[in-house]
Amino acid sequence: MKKELKDFSLKHSTSHLMASAVKELYPDVKVTIGPPTDEGFYYDFDNLEISDEDLKKIEKKMRQIAEKNLEFTVKEVPKAEAKKLLEEEPYKLELIEDIENKITFYSHGDFTDLCAGPHVKSTKEIRHFKLMSIAGAYWRGDSNNKMLTRIYGVVFNTEKELKAHLQLLEEAKKRDHKKLGKELDLFTFSELVGPGLPLWTPKGTKIREAIDNFIWEMRKEKGYEKVTIPHITKKELYERSGHWAKFKDDLFQIKTRDGHIFAMKPMNCPHHTQIFDSRQRSYKDMPQRYCETTMVYRDEQSGELQGLSRVRSITQDDAHVFCTNKQVEDEINAIWDIVDRFYSTFGFNLEIRFSTHDPDNFETYMGSKEAWENSEKKMLEVIQKRKVKFIDGVGEAAFYGPKIDFIAKDSLEREWQVATIQLDFNQPEGFNLNFMNEKGEKERAVMIHAAITGSLERFMSILIEHVAGKFPLWLSPEQIRVLTITDRSNEYAEEICKKLTEAGLRASVDPKSHSISKKVREAQLAKVNYMVTLGDKEVEKKTLSIRTRDGKVKFDVKVEDFIKDLKKEVEEKSK
């Protein structure tokens, strides 16, 4: 906790240092807000037009101010005096109106800013920082407000930490899924189709389908069945579920010719309730396990769209279980087993966050306090029985129920929220979902929501960067490329490719009349798992020369042995 507070103070103080430097260099700017973030800090300015080249100048000025060893001092003032101090800062004046408690100002040198703190003792403690980028940002995140200039930066306690972070960012740039997605021909975007709507190429689609099939194999083992629902619905369905009141501004709405309002579905659970409710269920029918990989649509703001990480068409590997109270523990454990197997296959380490409601803001949730207490108690029992450590996520629950969130750590030690298991007593109540129990009485069903990837698009963005585009064999869109040294090997190359394809492997022949070194280089850039090199010796001996994408070479390999090894590698989902 002390380290977190120290890091917060350092980041916060550096944002103030940056604001003072900007104010010195550009006296006409208007300052707004400059909070610390998980990654570092930023500050938003109005009336500031700069480029990335200007960041060096601002950073230099920051270092000059820091070396003056200026003390951060705090002063509490009445609201009337605060307004007077900020007469020339309209954004700060607006912020003051929302402050009900004490109003404090922090100063270093001639720069004073409205701020609740905390800060480091003096500017000389701020040494290991770097300004990273410039972006546009709406005031208070509202697109109806003015666009401001945001400057991002990072700061650390030591030079070693700063260098390590910058090296990590350089590696992340190389692995950027937007860059690799284009280079490997996995997906594309079109201005005619629209922002946030990715188009998947044949190669990218092969990967998506392989991931989805893997999840389906595991779900089928657990007794799930596939269902299919339409992509639109009357708004009344979401009014009943509670989603309309909560998310109507995020929905794509459609007005029919006869005046009804429909919506492109932003989630699937309300549709699945109607499948369950289409007939009377007995306790002998329970649980009902539905799954479907389908797209949902959300009207995200254009400025928030980011490659595959934030899109408007979201493919969910969605599942919903309708069960009895007694079955909840077994069903959550079954989903958890799938999550563990799925992410361990890709080499992700998982952390658990138990996301519960915020008792101080209960009015923002559906249902009764008793229902929430019962559902959170059930989930906590499952977690405790599995004997895993978990993060306490108070206030992180869905509006209809608590959830277990899985946090994956990738090969660059970055953390991502991925899978989720959500327990829902409220939608069964809202939709009056019942089954006939052993006594012949109607009993309320319990609903469990489960997404393994959460979103295939977002998971793909994480996976591409996690493996740096080097997909394991079972997932790779092009597993083997057959390369010929001369045209004399062409017929044998086609024969080998046919045998590989008939064995269920994804293989191709490079038909170009390039040198073998150039063909190998192109295959390596395409991150093909194996290159089969064929020359006169291989044709004569009816063998193969095998090269991996990492440069390992093996000669005189029999075709049957190669196929056997590859099929085993695919089956085991290794490498």
| 511/412 same-domain check | no
Residue 449 designated active-site: yes
Residue 32: name the closest of 160, 172, 140, 167 by CA: 140
> In sequence order, what DSSP letters do the residues of 129-194 get, joined into one string?
EEEEEEEEEEGGG-TTS-EEEEEEEEEESSHHHHHHHHHHHHHHHHH-HHHHHHHTT-EE--TTT-
Catalytic residue of the set 403, 458, 506, 527? 403
Query: Phi and psi at residue 186, in whole multiples of 5°?
Result: -100, -35
Read off the amino acid at residue 118: P
Q: Which of 11, 265, 269, 405 is catalytic?
A: 269
Residue 328 CA to residue 564 CA, distance in Å, equals: 42
How confident is the prediction along the chain (575 residues), in pLDDT tens digits per residue?
456 767 889 999 999 999 999 999 999 999 999 888 888 999 999 999 999 899 999 999 999 999 999 999 999 888 888 888 888 888 888 888 878 778 899 999 999 888 888 899 999 999 999 999 999 989 988 878 999 999 999 999 999 999 999 999 899 999 999 999 999 999 999 999 999 999 999 999 999 999 999 999 999 999 999 999 999 999 999 999 888 888 888 899 999 998 899 999 999 999 999 999 999 999 999 999 999 999 999 998 877 889 999 999 999 999 999 999 999 999 999 999 999 999 999 999 899 999 999 988 898 888 888 889 989 999 999 999 999 999 999 998 988 899 999 999 988 888 999 999 999 988 999 999 999 999 999 999 999 999 999 899 999 999 999 999 999 999 999 999 999 999 999 999 999 999 999 999 999 999 888 999 999 999 999 999 999 999 999 999 999 999 999 889 999 999 999 999 999 999 999 65
Place of tokens 């083997």: 480
**Cβ neighbours of residue 58 closer than 8 Å, sequence gap 6 or more:** 18, 21, 22, 25, 50, 131, 151
Name the active-site residue from 16, 23, 61, 320: 320
pTM (predicted TM-score): 0.84
Q: Which residues pair with 169 in a beta bridge?
A: none
pLDDT given for residue 336 in this prediction: 97
Boundary residue ending a domain (141, 158, 175): 158
In whole angstroms, give the CA distance from residue 545 to residue 481: 12
Q: What is the 3-state secondary structure (H, E, C) of 182-232?
A: HHCCCEECCCCCCCCCCEECHHHHHHHHHHHHHHHHHHHHCCCEECCCCCE
For position 3, what pLDDT does the model report?
64
| Alpha helical stretches, state H, 248-352 | 269-276, 328-345
Are residues 550 and 461 part of one domain?
Answer: no
> Domain containing 546: what range?
480-572
Q: Any catalytic annotation for residue 320?
A: yes
To the nearest 10 degrees (0 to 180), the angle between helices 490-502 and 559-572 is 40
Last residue of a domain, one of 409, 434, 466: 466
> Do 542 and 512 fall within a single domain?
yes
Does residue 173 lie within any of the structural domains?
no
Tell me: do 441 and 486 sit in the same domain: no
Q: Tell me whether residue 447 is in a domain.
A: yes
Q: How many Å apart are CA 239 and CA 461, to the nearest integer?
A: 33
* Identified catalytic residue from 298, 357, 466, 481: 298
Out of 108, 289, 312, 316, the active site residue is 316
The two most distant CA atoms of the chain are separated, in Å, by 94
Same-domain check for residues 251 and 355: yes
Cβ(460)–Cβ(208) below 8 Å: yes
Q: How far apart are CA 137 and CA 560, in angstroms?
A: 59
How many separate domains does the chain show?
Answer: 3
Chain Cα centroid distance, residue 187: 17
- The string of DSSP codes covering 43-79 is EEEES----TTHHHHHHHHHHHHHTT-PBPEEEEE-H
| Omega prior to 27 cis, within 30 of 0 | no
Per-residue model confidence (pLDDT) at position 1: 45
User: Minimal CA–CA distance to 17: which of 142, 108, 94?
Assistant: 108
- Tell me, what's the pLDDT at 113? 87
Helix residue ranges, H only, 467-530: 490-502, 516-525
Q: Is 419 found in the same domain as 292? A: yes
> CB neighbours of 4 closer than 8 A, spacing ≥ 6?
none
Indicate whether 215 and 147 sit together in one domain: no
Alpha carbon distance 173, 135 (integer Å): 17
Q: Does 502 lie in the same domain as 384?
A: no
* CA dihedral angle for residue 54, residue 55, residue 60, residue 65, rounded to 10 degrees: 110
CA distance 440 to 445: 14
438 and 493, same domain (yes or no):
no
Instruction: Report yes or no on 190 lying in a domain.
Output: no
C-alpha distances in Å from residue 166, one per residue of 16, 129, 154: 22, 10, 9
558 CB-near residues (< 8 Å, 6+ apart): 543, 544
CB-count exposure of residue 329 (10 Å: 0-12, 13-18, 19+): middle
Is 269 labeled as catalytic in the residue annotation?
yes
Q: For residue 361, what are its two tokens?
A: 């803001």
In a domain, 109, yes or no: yes
Q: Is residue 507 part of a domain?
A: yes
Residue 389, CA distances (Å) to 3, 143, 353, 381, 448 in order: 21, 40, 9, 13, 22
Strand, coil or helix: 342: helix
Whether residue 136 is found in the same domain as residue 218: no
Intra-chain end-to-end CA distance of the chain, in Å: 39
**Do 428 and 541 share a domain, yes or no?**
no
Residues 6 or more apart in contact with residue 474 via CB below 8 angstroms? 210, 569, 570, 571, 573
16 is catalytic: no
Under 8 Å between Cβ of 453 and 207 = no
In this structure, is residue 61 part of a structural domain?
yes
Does residue 193 lie within any of the structural domains? no
Residues in CB range of 95: below 8 A, 6 or more apart = 33, 114
Is 185 part of a structural domain of the chain? Answer: no
CATH number (domain holding residue 460): 3.30.930.10
- Any residues with CB less than 8 A from the CB of 74 and at least 6 apart, and which? 104, 105, 106, 107, 117, 119
Catalytic annotation present for 298: yes
Collect all residues with Cβ–Cβ distance below 8 Å to 49 and sequence separation of at least 6: 149
Q: Which of 113, 317, 318, 424 is catalytic?
A: 318
Rounded Cα gap, residues 126 and 139, in angstroms: 27
The domain that holds 512 is classified in CATH as: 3.40.50.800
Asked if 104 and 60 sit in the same domain, the reply is yes
CA dist 527 and 468 (Å) reads 10
CATH number at residue 141: 3.30.980.10
